[in-house]
Amino acid sequence: MLNRAIKRFWDDHRGYVIALTLIAMPLLLGFSLMVIDVGRSANLHTDLQNAVDAMALAGARELDGRDDAIERAQEAIEKLANTAAFGEGGEGMSLGTYITVSYDAADDDSSTVTVRFLNGIPGDGTFEGDDDDPITQAMVTTDSNEAGYAWVAAKEQAMQTIFPLPVGLNRDTINVSADAVAAYRVSACDVTPIYICNPYENPGGGNAEAAAEALHTNFAAGNLYGRQIELHNNNNVTATAGPGNFGFLETLGKGADALAEALALGKPGICYKQDDLTTEPGEMRGKVEHGTNTRFGLYGADYKNVDGNWHYRPAPNVRMGQTQDNKACSTYTQAANAYDAVPLGYGTDMEVIPGGGGRISKSNNWNLNLYWDISHSGQKPSPLKSNPNYTPPLAPVAAITEYSSSYPGGVTPSGAQPSAFDVYNYEIGNPTLLAHMAPNGEKGSPQCHKGYNLADYPDSTYGNRREIFAAIVNCADQGLKGRTPGVEAVAFGRMFLTKPVVTNGSDSHMTLELVDITGKGGRGTLDEFLREEAELVR
């Protein structure tokens, strides 16, 4: 009987599934919780990665090479960390209900991310390697002029798990981390399609970094303030450009006509990436001169009928030492006699730039007082005047530099002569000066436009017509010859034309002052033309 009862119980399978379910339930529950934890950690890692991506991009956008770039980048990252929310967070950069991302540049211990700045990464041309190679300490920099990458790494964050461990039923944690590297990229839009060769470059090339450093250092130190650079283009497409030459960049259209239009209007129709320019070769003589010189109110050749179109308007101050004859509104001819009329920047002592076709002034040594006397006294000064007691008026240096200073430090040092650009601005700011006539009758106010009021198109809104914005290139090092793609500029420069472009035979030359520069030592006045972007590279 007992044996039958046992056998019947053994053979009875009713409730078997319930028993198995009860036995398996802890395992199923544990596995379910583990899957949930894995999903939670994946979601948290995604949020954390989004956070460091955003912070790296915010920082990289400020790395323009200027002296305060790192400080501005840190401020941008701090601002983002203190205002943005991720996951279910509300205040601050909160990730779900578990982690709050914070950054304080002055307190690493309280920060949950580490921010460093790099002058290069493996495989970018600065350092050897590829994307799989780690970032090393040699790539980290604290120099704002060198920093081109923002590297944001989240410190390991402990996420509390739901899954209970078998021993002690304690809760454990999963460590989650993420990092991102973003690079600064810049392009310039609505600028003059011109490049100039760095005057500090070795004619044979091979010193690219030193030449770029020399350009930035000299500008930052004020050594280029008021100094003129005479740049040449001989239209010889077989020649290799070198220090002191200038050339052209591709525009939306092709050929000399399209380029001349772009120079006249300052709108090439494309944006120029600093590290990916394409040069435009070809016979440009004449058309380039006439297109550019509409900025001075000179309407010759193909531009003889655009004097009534405000798009080709002259600058509000066009004093250029122009001969006053029947071609005064079409062709630039500088007055042969300095006591009749002189352009801004007249009388500077120039020297040849080694290895190139241009010249550069030895110092800011142009004859300001002669210019002021000729342009604003209305008389021919001694020694041509018969009156031996004539005392030429001196330029109001203090008033000029107080009104306008393009000196890199912001204020022209006491005793320093103003640049031609600053004198130009002072004259515009004091309109009566524009009406003053030089002995030959030339005025500062433009005389050759018609059909519209020039005052309706102020520089502050429509741009300064006597400025050009050019790429500055280590031409010899880049091996420029004919059409060259993939050219890298060391900077973009803001330049003031002291007088119109002059063509003599096959050679054209322009004379200008460098007013500002992107990167180290720059004054920041080019920002309105720059499209500053950041992109994730790691």
From the list 297, 311, 309, the residue with the least C-alpha distance to 262 is: 311
Residue with tokens 């330029």: 395
- How far, CA to CA in Å, does 233 sit from each of 252, 283, 458? 22, 10, 31
Count of CB atoms situated within 10 Å of the CB of 225: 26
pTM across the whole model: 0.77
Q: How far apart are CA 386 and CA 206, in angstroms?
A: 58
pLDDT band, very low/low/confident/very high, at 462 (cuts 50, 70, 90):
confident
Q: How far apart are CA 174 and CA 157, in angstroms?
A: 8
Mean pLDDT for all residues in the chain: 80
Q: How far apart are CA 147 and CA 60, in angstroms?
A: 9
Name the residue type at position 512.
L
> How many CA atoms lie less than 13 Å away from 190 in the CB half-sphere?
11
From the list 499, 468, 209, the residue with the least C-alpha distance to 333 is: 499
Lowest mean pLDDT among 70-74, 244-248, 471-475: 244-248
Q: How far apart are CA 261 and CA 290, in angstroms?
A: 10
Q: What is the pLDDT of residue 346?
A: 92
Lowest mean pLDDT among 171-175, 208-212, 287-291, 325-329: 171-175
Tokens of 512: 């200008």
- The answer to whether 508 and 493 are in contact (CB under 8 A) is no
H/E stretch holding 54: helix 16-60
Strand ranges inside 344-445, DSSP E: 350-352, 359-361
180 DSSP 8-state letter: E
Between 167 and 166, name the one with better pLDDT: 166
Degrees to nearest 5, angle at CA 284 with 282 and 289: 165
Helices marked H in 222-274: 255-265
Q: φ, ψ for residue 296 (rounded to 5)?
A: -100, 5
> Which residues have a Cβ under 8 Å from the Cβ of 154 and sit 6 or more positions away?
48, 51, 52, 101, 112, 113, 177, 178, 179
pLDDT band, very low/low/confident/very high, at 136 (cuts 50, 70, 90):
confident
pLDDT band, very low/low/confident/very high, at 368 (cuts 50, 70, 90):
very high
pLDDT band, very low/low/confident/very high, at 91 (cuts 50, 70, 90):
very low
Residues 43-65: pLDDT tens digits?
A: 677 777 888 888 888 888 888 77
Range 190-222 burial, b when 16+ CB lie within 10 A, else e: bbbbbbbbbbbbbeebebbeebbebbbebbbeb
pLDDT band, very low/low/confident/very high, at 527 (cuts 50, 70, 90):
confident
Q: Does the pLDDT of residue 446 top 50, yes or no? A: yes
Q: How far apart are CA 113 and CA 93, in angstroms?
A: 12
Lowest mean pLDDT among 326-330, 377-381, 521-525: 377-381
- The answer to whether 121 and 538 are in contact (CB under 8 A) is yes
Residue with tokens 């129709």: 269
Q: Does the pLDDT of residue 514 top 90, yes or no? A: yes
Q: How far apart are CA 196 and CA 211, in angstroms?
A: 13
